[in-house]
Chains A and B, each alone.
Chain A
Amino acid sequence: MLYAILCYDSEDVVGAWTKEEDEAAIKRLEVVEEKLARQGRLGPVARLMPTTAATTVRKGREAMIIDGPFAETKEQLLGFFIVDCASLDEAIETAKELGRASSSAGAYEVRPLMVFKPNDVTRTDEVRA
């Protein structure tokens, strides 16, 4: 089974780290990442930009574009896509296209990535699309 492990923390606190604190935290995580990668168990790793860089696309016949992160609490995180886009406009268009294709309501939060390591899981357990 593949698992997504999602990171939650106060972006104010993490954002206030000095360069040294940030690098030290990354270094400690990389030790774990390297071990997982050697075992062929590590998939993509991403660090998101702060929520101030986010735009939300509310699905619907006419998609609604809202500045800021997804803020509702009655809907839950069910999945994500990582798409290469030339601009925010293109990213929003892509989200709209996905929205038209999906049958549900809900929203997409479009958030640029700060760090992306593609990695490839080589040890295959059962679940693969």
Chain B
Amino acid sequence: MSDMAWIDAALTSARPQAVGALLRYFRDLDTAEEAYQDACLRALKSWPRNGPPRDPAAWLIMVGRNAGIDGVRRRGRQEALPPEEAISNLDDAEGAAVERVDAADYRDDVLRLLFICCHPELPATQQIALALRIVSGLSVRQIARAFLVSEAAMEQRITRAKARIARAEVPFETPGAVERSERLGAVAAMVYLLFNEGYSASFDVAQAKAPLCEEAIRLSRLLLRLFKTEPEIMGLTALMLLQHSRAAARFDTEGQVVLLGNQDRRLWNRKLISEGLALIDKAMRHRRPGPYQIQAAIAALHARAERPEDTDWTEIDALYAALERVQPSPVVTLNRAVAVAKVRGPEAALAMVEPLESQLSGYFHFHGLRGGLLMQLGRAAEAREAFNRAIALANTAAEAAHIRMHLDRLAGAR
């Protein structure tokens, strides 16, 4: 690995901690980001000459803090001085103060930085875009490419979102235990949204969106290093690792989506699977199940099955029943019906699916599954009608093509 590549990787990895700490000092996102940029420029000059510092994040915080103070002083000549409390802790900026920044500070800094991106008034996609810009440090161009919009449009979106959170009250006090766990919950949800933004892609955009999945996993691992004893963060990381392990098997050579049961399991990434399994194993010891752990446990059962017919559907049915209890939603019930069809047959599954009609009538997968169950029961005309509704609601060409294959099979059976 070349010097520059190493420095680039170290800067990326130190960024959330460094920007988070600088935000705590300067209490202003733009000042914190500028100070961090200054520190990065100095790192690019100093690190190749002097070798990498022992703790890159601490180095960036110290240098960024000094640069930020300089900037505030420079501006101070032209503008009125900012109120004292706006630049907290400046006194201890001298010397090796950062040596004493302890792990608890870092932890709350990173959490705060992620948490301000989860502002409830921001739509989910803006929360994600903002987190990618501020926390992950992706360029506007990279983010725009992943969201399939123009750079100018993304620039505008991020600027608006930033203005929105600048007006909001940023919580600078050290959070209490309850607050911390609420923040962690909001941040975990945002990280999973980020993952899904990259995951639910069709083949032609999968390439562009893959970095979103990887970034979500990276942020989740960071959270797990900071909150070592949180079983739901273990569960979230495991869930994403297990889902991402199937990335190479999700599309065929023509770009058609390949359903789980038909995937070539040799293409699954065994390293990601074994790490996911190790994490879910670790989480289960806490006996505090939550939605991420349960979903990860379901993904783990798929990952453990060498062939589709080895899948433990009875256990999957039980896990979905548990998920229905902690996070009731018609989509969860719909997923459970897939397991029920395997365990108790299509009739029982259909009975579970039918009552969801009013809530899921606009949902592609509802009609797709219902059509499949009707087809298994030999009710061809109704199946055809359900499949036609599914096609009308397909989100991607691959989804539509998959349903068309069923329709062709129905036509062939006539």
Residues on A facing B (Cβ under 8 Å): 10, 12-13, 15-16, 21, 49-53, 55, 65-68, 87-89, 112, 114-115
Contact = CB atoms under 8 A, between A and B. Distances in A.
A10 B10 contact: yes
B329 interface: no
Contact of A16 (B13, B224, B225): B13
Given A10-B10, A67-B282, A52 B218 contact: no
B218 A53 contact: no
B281 A87 contact: yes
A12 B279 CA distance: 17
B278 interface: yes
Interface string B264-306: 0000000100110011011001000000000000000000000
B6 A52 contact: no
A124 B344 CA distance: 61
Given A52-B221, A52-B224, A114-B271, A16 B9 contact: yes
Contact of B278 (A21, A65, A112): A112
B89 interface: no
Interface residues of B, number: 23
Contacts of B274: 49, 112, 114
Nearest to A47: B271
A89 B280 CA distance: 12
Contacts of A87: 281
B236 to A, nearest CB: 12
Interface string B100-143: 00000000000000000000000000000000000000000000
Contact of B12 (A16, A88, A112): A16
B6 A13 contact: yes
B229 A67 contact: yes
B218 A88 contact: no
User: Do most interface residues of chain B lie in helix, strand or loop, or is the interface mixed?
Assistant: helix
B243 interface: no
B228 A68 contact: yes
Contacts of B275: 49-50, 53, 112, 114
A13 B229 CA distance: 23
A49 B278 contact: yes
B245 interface: no
Contacts of A66: 228
Contacts of A115: 271
A115 B337 CA distance: 37
Contacts of B221: 15, 50, 52
Contacts of A13: 6, 9-10, 13
Contacts of B234: 52
10 contacts: A16-B9, A21-B1, A50-B275, A52-B224, A52-B279, A53-B275, A53-B278, A88-B278, A114-B274, A114-B275
A40 to B, nearest CB: 29
Nearest to B14: A12
Given A12-B9, A16-B218, 19 more contacts: A10-B9, A10-B13, A13-B6, A13-B10, A15-B218, A49-B274, A50-B275, A51-B225, A52-B224, A53-B275, A66-B228, A67-B282, A68-B225, A87-B281, A88-B278, A88-B285, A112-B274, A114-B274, A114-B275
A30 to B, nearest CB: 16
Contacts of A15: 218, 221
A55 B225 CA distance: 12
B6 A67 contact: no
B13 A67 contact: no
B282 A55 contact: yes
Specify which of A55, A67, A115 lies most central, judged by the most chain B CB atoms within 10 Å of its CB: A67
Interface string B1-20: 10000100110110000000
Nearest to A13: B9
A87 to B, nearest CB: 6
A19 B6 CA distance: 16
A46 B229 CA distance: 26
B202 interface: no
Task: Across the A-B interface, give the 6 residue pairs with the lowest CB-CB distance, nearest first.
Answer: A68-B228, A12-B13, A13-B9, A112-B278, A88-B281, A53-B278
A53 B6 CA distance: 24
B237 interface: yes
A68 B226 CA distance: 10
A97 B411 CA distance: 65
B129 to A, nearest CB: 21
Nearest to B103: A71
Contacts of B1: 21
